């Protein structure tokens, strides 16, 4: 083996390093995650000058003025980023293959270049001609948009210094490599070293960077978990690749909230942002079918109205089926048990199918009341008025509990033309504007049954 090089074992989940293979990682407690890789020993240390340059600063002396953010040209993406791109920030974009990550970033590059920003798009997966073919489908680009097909980090760092761009896009981080690291591109060592090198360039030159990351079959970014710790913002691009819409969700953001989402629609010319997702989600809903209700949910600071569908049929087998699409399966079972216990409805011999229309995945507790109403509507075969919305949390005692941001939910319902809102009675006193919509407060599931 060459002098200065040795092997070590790295955890694929957290990046923990050890000299021998271990069954369980001491850092993250995961099993069978260690891989052996070739590493290079670096003996260069800090000089006296470097040590003297690094010294603590009093917190009151730090300038706390907000830096001017750069707009991406998409208000939906700006919201998820916390108001726009932060100079020197690193944004990791993950998602399934074919979901639209590269297309979205290419559109962002077009918007930025049209605003006079110099953009450098670095691809390790496509040739210049392949990117040009995709760009022709998206729209017209100007000379501010630069393309580079390269995987060597040394070359990339040198080209960034020469071009001095305003924005850099790396597609993707798993294809980048540094020659000093002996392992293959995409390995734990290469991904960690590549991200660290790009981070130093971004922070040192205040150049914002977008990094595309592949995801595993479990839906998490491939490579070590330390990759997500190193970047400033982690965005996940979600949605069925066969469906029309896509959702970009922030799971980590040092410069803003992680509860925001952006909604896009995939079209032949690229991704188009949906400024009113509630209206988009409610298109084509039935108005004369039992088991169909509309719920108002919160995604960060944004209220979204979705259709909840439930179908209860008598089971022909000894073990009734329970199916939930778009919400927690166990939550559906819990609410059915509450209905059986608190109002005496026997659902033990009924198959139950629950669906959140449109393919959304909802985990907010404000969905509980809409699920209960939908199941009661299907059980009794009663149609719920199409201009009524529901929201509220249901407890094990059958009580309807308050949820956050009641005013925003009611305002969104009024904006879309709903005439009636059923909500927890304890939340009615906190409402500021009650004009233009009828409010019905209920306190338990018995009142919900009487309402149906």
Binding residues: 95-102
Buried/exposed code over 271-303 (b: 16+ C-beta within 10 A; e: otherwise)? bebbeebbebbbeebeeeebbbbbbbbbbbebb
Q: What CA–CA distance (Å, rounded) separates 300 from 277?
A: 14
The 3-state DSSP class for residue 335 equals helix
CB neighbours of residue 58 within 10 Å: 6
CB neighbours of residue 166 within 10 Å: 20
Annotated binding site for ATP: 95-102
- φ, ψ (nearest 5 deg) of residue 24: -120, 135
- Please compute, for residue 129, the number of CA atoms within 13 A of its CA located in the half-sphere on the CB side: 0
From the CA atom positions of the chain, what is the Rg in Å?
26
CA 351-326-448 angle, to 5 degrees, is: 60
Q: Tokens for 361?
A: 């995945």
- CA end-to-end span of the chain: 76
The 3-state DSSP class for residue 444 equals strand
- Region class of 235: left (phi > 0), else alpha (psi between -120 and 50), else beta: beta
Cβ–Cβ under 8 Å, residues 445 and 427: no
Q: Tokens for 154?
A: 């040394």
Q: What CA–CA distance (Å, rounded) separates 117 from 431?
A: 45
Q: What CA–CA distance (Å, rounded) separates 369 from 441?
A: 12
Contacts of 135 (CB under 8 A, 6+ apart): 106, 110, 141
The 3-state DSSP class for residue 135 equals helix
Q: What CA–CA distance (Å, rounded) separates 192 from 188?
A: 6
Rounded (to 5) percent helix, strand, coil in the chain: 30, 30, 40
Cβ–Cβ under 8 Å, residues 141 and 135: yes
């Amino acid at each position: 083996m060459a002098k200065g090089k040795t092997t070590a074992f790295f955890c694929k989940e957290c990046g923990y390093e050890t000299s021998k293979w271990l069954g369980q990682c001491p850092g993250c407690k995961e099993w069978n995650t260690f891989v052996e890789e070739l590493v290079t020993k670096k003996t260069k240390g800090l000089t006296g000058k470097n040590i003297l340059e690094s010294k603590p600063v009093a917190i009151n002396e730090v300038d706390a003025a907000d830096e001017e953010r750069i707009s991406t040209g998409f208000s939906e993406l700006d919201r998820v980023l916390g108001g726009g791109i932060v100079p020197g920030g690193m944004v990791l974009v993950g998602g399934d293959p074919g979901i639209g990550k590269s297309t979205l970033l290419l559109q962002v590059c077009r918007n930025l270049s049209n605003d006079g920003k110099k953009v450098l798009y670095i691809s390790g997966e496509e040739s210049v001609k392949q990117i040009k073919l995709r760009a022709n489908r998206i729209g017209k680009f100007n000379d501010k948009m630069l393309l580079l097909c390269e995987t060597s980090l040394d070359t990339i760092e040198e080209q960034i210094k020469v071009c001095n761009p305003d924005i850099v896009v790396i597609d993707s981080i798993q294809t980048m490599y540094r020659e000093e690291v002996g392992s293959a591109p995409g390995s734990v060592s290469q991904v960690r070293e590549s991200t660290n090198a790009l981070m130093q360039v971004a922070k040192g030159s205040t150049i914002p960077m977008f990094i595309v990351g592949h995801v595993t079959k479990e839906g998490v970014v491939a490579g070590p978990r330390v990759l997500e710790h190193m970047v400033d913002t982690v965005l996940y691009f979600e949605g069925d690749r066969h469906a029309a819409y896509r959702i970009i969700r922030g799971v980590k953001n040092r410069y803003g909230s992680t509860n925001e989402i952006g909604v896009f629609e995939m079209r032949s010319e690229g991704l188009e942002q949906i400024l009113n997702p509630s209206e988009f989600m409610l298109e084509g809903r039935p108005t004369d079918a039992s088991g169909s209700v509309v719920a108002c949910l919160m995604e960060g600071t944004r209220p979204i109205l979705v259709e909840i569908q439930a179908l209860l049929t008598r089971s022909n087998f000894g073990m009734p089926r329970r199916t939930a699409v778009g919400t927690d399966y166990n939550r559906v079972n819990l609410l059915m048990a509450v209905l059986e216990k608190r109002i005496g409805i026997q659902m033990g011999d009924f198959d139950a199918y629950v669906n959140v229309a449109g393919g959304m995945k909802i985990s907010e507790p404000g969905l509980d009341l809409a699920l209960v109403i939908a199941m009661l509507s299907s059980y009794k075969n009663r149609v719920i008025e199409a201009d009524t919305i529901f929201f509220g949390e249901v407890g094990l005692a059958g009580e309807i509990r308050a949820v956050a941001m009641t005013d925003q939910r009611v305002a969104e319902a009024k904006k879309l033309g709903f005439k009636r809102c059923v909500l927890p009675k304890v939340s009615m006193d906190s409402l500021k504007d009650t004009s233009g919509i009828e409010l019905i407060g209920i306190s338990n599931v018995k009142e919900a049954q009487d309402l149906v």
